[in-house]
Structure 1
Amino acid sequence: MKKLGKLITSFLAFTLLFGLFMTPSLSHADDQPQANDNYLQKVKDRGKIVMGTSPDFPPYEFTTKINGKSEIVGMDVEISKKIAHDLGVKLVIKPMDFDSLLVALQTGKVDMVLAGMNKTAKREKSVDFSNKYFNGGWNLIIRQEDRDQIKDYHNLETKAVGVQTGTIQYDLMKKKLPKAKMKGMDKNPDLILALKTHKIDAIAMGRPSAEAYANNTAGIVTIKSGITEKISGNSAAFPKGSTSLVNFVNEEIKDIQKKDLIKKQYLPKAGKYMAATSDKSSKKSGKKSPQSSNSMWAYKDYFIAGIGYTLLISAIAVILGFALGVILAFMRLSKNSILHSIATCYIEFIRGTPLMVQLLFIYFGLGTVVNIPALVSGIIAVGLNSAAYVAEVIRSGISSIATGQTEAARSLGLSKKQTMQYIIFPQAMKNIWPALGNEFVSLIKESSIVSIIGVKDLIYQSRIVQADTYRGVAPLVVTMVLYFIVTFGLSRLMKLWEGKMNHDGK
């Protein structure tokens, strides 16, 4: 009971310290923008303005291949380019999931968000908005075969409706269709795939994007939603208190609207990019090219780049996780109560919280104190998470060695360090090698979570291919095969090494 009481006390202390560390960081994030009435000048002095967006929303923002390279294009990108040009600074585009964009603003990861976002009273409590620059309304996307059954939202009362999470359409559809099965997803390509595979019956989406997907994807059509509520229109979002930057962008919006640049230049330009990869347009023309054919081989560079990032993250995270795991294992086996408590609290806390939450905390939470790049944040999060599991594997391996081994070694004059180094640890490693191999293989698969903060790993690249080709299944098949090749190859290597260890031990 005493040990349990000490453990609980230590864990509460650890949690309290963690909370105290986190709270100032978040409060700092909230306070920092408030004092930034000279935000515009800071952007100029820095020489760049960072735009946050979710590039799965044509024609606002989406990815395409230009001269063999993946680029984020669209109406919002053109607006941001004009803002950056008139400011005399460089535009940096930082992609991430839609529901992470406002958090990125609050934590200083981006200077502005243009992502077809609507201004709402709830959002205005956290960030500032520019004036409206576009109002496209919104539609429903349905399967072509369901046109006679679904005329507007009234026909969806008992059906499954898909909406991108974090959007105004999600809240509105929940209000209008309380009996419908609402299915929120982070990415629009996932919604399109769910619709085509009969997982959902309709998608609520902004009209320009709905038309873009319908025009470029076989088997689906877009119809009017039938909802008469007025929507605020699309605005750019900024950190709270960055009045100077908001005012500058409002002047830019006035100029854009005066010259009618969106209809005359930005939307037509986005349409040309979409037509280049349109499945329907290529069928009509009868022409096939490496790009318009949408073949996965045409996107081999994307998958190769994704594999490279995945292996890089996994390799460094394995080294970090193993090194820290060994330390934590010995700390937990230590008779020193402080070291034991610290290791126990760390292991239990990390194993008791989702990796996604840990990743977001490191990138956004700690990022308010130290600006940690997305790739480094991903490596740290995956490595620290793996360390907790590796520590338990190593601890169990060491504990599995009979105490007689230690006693015999000590009786022969070996010190504690020598006993552990030459007798106990080598035998423990032989016993736990299969479990460690499983952990390393799992780590490669778990590293896919880093795509949510914009790290260009294999999952991220497959999303790009999905958005660029308007094909949902083929990129996933390629991704699964590549993951299997990597993990199966690693498993075989671990098996060979395990056999070598057993052979050497005989």
Structure 2
Amino acid sequence: MEKVVYMKKCNLFKIIANLACLMTFLCLFSANAVAADHSSKSILTCIKNKKELVVGTSADYPPLEFIDNQNGTNKYVGVDIELAKEIAKDLGVKLVVKNMSFDSLLVALETRKVDMVISGLTPTPERKKSVDFSKIYYRPSGEYFLINKNDRAKYHSLISFKGQKIGAQNGSLQYQLVKKQMPKSHVKGLGKINTLVLALQSGKVSAVVMEELIAKAYAHNNPSLYCFKSDLKEPQAGNAIAVAKNQPDLLKEVNKTVDKVIAKKLVLTKFLPQAAKSMKKSTAQKDPFKYAPYFIKGIELTLVITIFSVLIGVILGTILALMRLSSHLALKIPAICYIELIRGTPQMVQILFVYFGIGAIIQNMSALLAGIIAIGLNSGAYVAEDIRSGINSLPVGQAEAARSLGLSKAATYRYVVIPQAIKNIWPALGNEFITLLKDSSLVSIIGVAETMYQTQLVQTSTYQGVFPLVVAMAIYFIMTFTLTRILSYMERRMNYHD
């Protein structure tokens, strides 16, 4: 008997291992197929056919790229945005700006989520291996340290930061400079500049390394901050536009616009003055409550993501639970593999995979749809285990009694088992729904404008780090508290009808 059980377990593990190998092969094959398909398409032709240019940026970098509230509407403004407008104008197409985390921009470019990236990018040798760059359109005078004004006497050079934590944006040139030239300091990388500034103000880092214009913008608009030029040594650098590899026709058109901008000195004579004007306007509107439309829009999208993700999670979870309880290995094994895979990988990785991985195959998949799918698929695995535990907790006699009355197996589950199981696991499902509502904030990494994303925009626009977070916490608390009360009411109703 023990030998039979052992052989069954061995066969089970073999099936799981083979399935995992097959999934890996399919992923690699699909990735290669997508890459080959992408390399054969002209992005410039696609831009002209769809009559729009999609530009990726990280709009937390004033005065290069940031957001201004104009008559209640969010507008992307800044030097880089004006340059993007010039390129779109010269191509005769509409400009569409996609705002996302800086360290996701080049991935978005390689997977064709954006047509080009304009976000204060420096064409380093490492980046040139994966993307091509235009000519340099702006050369900053060097890197600056942004510090708390109270620390002016304490920090003044690289040596003075010995043993301190230095903040820099993930994937940026500044991060590499600190890592290589400040070995006695500790570099701390974060995805957003406003998060780095918040870390600086809360004492998590001693300084943040930024380009000159950005550092001066934060120091000018926040009296508690101070910036000074660093003694970091860097190669002859500058900002350029990134485009996908092997797109010479698009790169040629981009360089035409860059040449025009340089010849007319538009960066200094037009783009910077316009950015300064927008920054001055934002500074005059520092009160986060004036940015209520930001938070309202974020709440709307958070609720949309939560509702549809719950639907996906419940439907998928019920199916997976029944598959896992099945005696047929063809149904049981895939359910086990899926649940273990989802529960064994971070949700943020899953969101990025759905958007950049699956989204590379389905080109028209929006960030919102990708976020809903990713969170719904994640929720399904946990809901499946909740439902399975609820079914297993029921006395076997319940199902046997139903079958003895002539009900089919499907009818027994539908009318007897599932309703009782749901009643037993309702508190656990409620916790999953509340967690899902809060986890919706993770989709901000791919540019979905939900509550957390909008909070980051307010931080950038007001140059304040803490207060917008307090508002966001209050919003999430109100939503979760309301949902808790609804779930408790439904639980009482179910117990009342016992």
| Pair in the same fold by TM > 0.5 | yes
The one of 337, 348, 364 aligned to 2:329: 337
2:248 corresponds in structure 1 to 243
2:204 corresponds in structure 1 to 199
2:80 corresponds in structure 1 to 76
Deviations 1:298-343 (A, max 9, x none): 1111111100000001000101110111011000001111100011
The one of 449, 455, 477 aligned to 1:462: 455
User: What is the SS of the residue equivalent to 1:116?
Assistant: strand
Q: Is the 8 A contact 1:132 1:234 kept in 2?
A: yes
Q: Is the 8 A contact 1:10 1:342 kept in 2?
A: no
1:184 corresponds in structure 2 to 189
Q: Is the 8 A contact 1:138 1:208 kept in 2?
A: no
Q: Cα offset for 1:232?
A: 2.0
Structure 1: which amino acid aligns with 2:126? Answer: K
1:383 corresponds in structure 2 to 376
Deviations 1:385-407 (A, max 9, x none): 00000000000000000112222
Q: Cα offset for 1:247?
A: 1.3
Q: Cα offset for 1:408?
A: 2.5
Distance 1:293 1:52, change over 3 A: closer
The one of 6, 13, 20 aligned to 1:15: 20
2:317 corresponds in structure 1 to 325
* Comparing 170-179 and 17-26, the one that deviates more: 17-26
Q: Is the 8 A contact 1:28 1:368 kept in 2?
A: no
Q: Cα offset for 1:177?
A: 1.4
The one of 38, 42, 47 aligned to 1:43: 47
1:29 and 1:56 mapped to 2: Cα distance?
Answer: 31
Please, what is the CA RMSD of the aligned residues?
1.3
1:252 and 1:451 mapped to 2: Cα distance?
Answer: 32
Structure 2: which amino acid aligns with 1:197? Answer: S
Identity of aligned residues (%): 46
1:74 and 1:310 mapped to 2: Cα distance?
Answer: 28
1:40 and 1:131 mapped to 2: Cα distance?
Answer: 18
Matched, 1:428 2:448: no
Deviations 1:167-207 (A, max 9, x none): 01101101111221211110001111111111110011111
1:352 and 1:2 mapped to 2: Cα distance?
Answer: 26
The one of 74, 84, 91 aligned to 1:87: 91
Matches within 5 A, 1:99-498: 99-136=103-140, 137-278=142-283, 292-371=284-363, 372-498=365-491
User: What is the SS of the residue equivalent to 1:238?
Assistant: strand
Structure 2: which amino acid aligns with 1:91? Answer: L
* Comparing 423-432 and 225-234, the one that deviates more: 225-234
1:502 corresponds in structure 2 to 495
The one of 53, 58, 63 aligned to 2:62: 58
2:99 and 2:64 mapped to 1: Cα distance?
Answer: 13
Deviations 1:435-474 (A, max 9, x none): 0000011000111111111111001111111111111111
Q: Cα offset for 1:33?
A: 4.7
2:45 and 2:61 mapped to 1: Cα distance?
Answer: 31
Structure 2 gaps, min length 5: 1-5
Q: Is the 8 A contact 1:65 1:71 kept in 2?
A: yes
Q: Is the 8 A contact 2:135 2:255 kept in 1?
A: yes
User: Scaled by the length of structure 1, what TM-score is found?
Assistant: 0.95
Structure 2: which amino acid aligns with 1:115? Answer: S
Deviations 1:240-288 (A, max 9, x none): 011111111112111111111000000111011111122xxxxxxxxxx
Count of equivalent residues: 491
Q: Is the 8 A contact 1:142 1:222 kept in 2?
A: yes
1:129 and 1:30 mapped to 2: Cα distance?
Answer: 19
Q: Is the 8 A contact 1:158 1:180 kept in 2?
A: yes
1:282 corresponds in structure 2 to none
Structure 1 gaps, min length 5: 279-291
1:28 and 1:60 mapped to 2: Cα distance?
Answer: 36
Q: Is the 8 A contact 2:43 2:115 kept in 1?
A: no
2:3 corresponds in structure 1 to none
